[in-house]
Amino acid sequence: MGNSRLHLIMSKLNARTALTLFFIVGAVVLLILMFTTPIPEPNKDMAYLFVGGYIGWTGASITYWFGTSKGSNDKQDELNRLRESDGNR
């Protein structure tokens, strides 16, 4: 049972890391493209809207994984683990 729990924790950490890195790398690439690639005038507003939204979601993702929601999620996981261990007695 301990090994399956460790596997679950590691898969959660890997998913968190992968998602966060995906958002950060994507945001950096979009910002670099915004400053180095000319955007046609009719598409400028749409490009700014898209990049601004993406940057916002990147910030929300990072805040979730490293902010108070992450701590709350960790506490809930610990409570669930304690409940499981009490139920096995």
Q: How confident is the model at residue 32 (pLDDT cuts 50, 70, 90)?
A: very high
Question: Tens of pLDDT along 38-82?
Answer: 999 999 999 999 999 998 888 887 777 776 666 777 787 888 888
Segments forming the whole domain that contains residue 62: 2-87
Within 8 A by CB and 6+ apart from 49, the residues are none
Give the model confidence (pLDDT) of 16-31 as tens digits.
777 888 888 999 999 8
How many domains would you assign to the chain? 1
Q: What is the pLDDT of residue 22?
A: 85
- Crossing angle of helices 44-66 and 2-36, rounded to 10°: 150
Tokens at 10, concatenated: 């590691």
* Spatial distance between the Cα atoms of 44 and 49, rounded to a whole number of angstroms: 9
CA distance linking residue 70 with residue 52, whole number of Å? 24
